[in-house]
Chain A
Amino acid sequence: MTVSHPEPPASEGADWPSDWLRATLGFFALHALSAGPSYGYAIISELERNGFGTVKGGTLYPLLTRYEAAGLVTTEWRAGDGGPGRKYFALTDRGRAEKNRLSADWLRFTALSNRYLSDGQHTKEVTT
C-alpha cells in the first residue's frame, strides 16, 4: 500500500481565536473523515490546507480518542509500505449522523450570525 502525504499546508488563517477552533475542531475532524478513513497527519494537513491553522497532535488525538470511546469513530492499524504502520480513523454510522447534525447546527448558527452582523441592526434598550 502506498501512502502519500498530503500537500504542504498553507499558512492562511493560522491566527483564528483559539476559542473558535476549540469549538469547531470536533466536527471539522469528523468532516475530514467523511470522505473516508484517514490518519493523524493527513487530518491535520487537511485542516491547515483549508485555512484553519496548525492543529497540534496534542489537541487532535485526545479528541479522536474521546470520539472512539463514544463510538463515533473506529480505528485500525494498517501496515505501511516498507515503513511503520499507520493508525487510520474511520467514521461509524453514529459518527456520520453526529457530523451531519453538528454541521447543520453550525450552518444555522453562522447564517444567524451573518444576518445579525450584516443587518447592522442593534437591539437597544428602550427607555420610556
Chain B
Amino acid sequence: MPRRTQSGGRKNRHRPQRYKDVLHGNGGHRANDFRCAGCRLDVSLVAPGTAHRNHCPNCLTSLHVDHRIPGDRASTCHGRMEALSLTVRPDGEWMIIHQCQSCGELSANRIAGDDNMLPLMRLALRPLGAGSIASSALLTTL
C-alpha cells in the first residue's frame, strides 16, 4: 500500500506497475482465484492496492513461479515460499522478503491492502525479540 503523504519533495517518482499477462493455474482454468500453498485458503486475485497478488493475505505464503523477472513464470521450482523478513522502500512502502523452502531463493514482494496485520507485525518485530542480538547490542552500546 503506497503512502499518500510523500516525505520531502520527491513526488511523481512512481513507476507504473508492469503489465503482467499470465494465467493462474494450469491452463488458466482458474483465472480468478488461487489456493494458498500454506493455509489452503481460496484467494481472489483482486487485491486492493496492487495489481499483482502474489501471496496469501492470510498467512503471507507465496509460490515460487517466477525466475528472474517478476511475472515471467519461468521457474521450474514451484516450491512454497515463506515470508522471511520485511524491508521498506524509500517511499515508505513495506515489502515482504520471501524465501523458497525448496531451493532457498529470495524474492521481494509488495504487501497488499488486505494482508493480515498480525503476521506482518510479527515479521517486523522478529529482530527485536527477547534474547536476540538487538537487546545485547543496545545494552552494550548505550
The answer to whether A binds B is: no
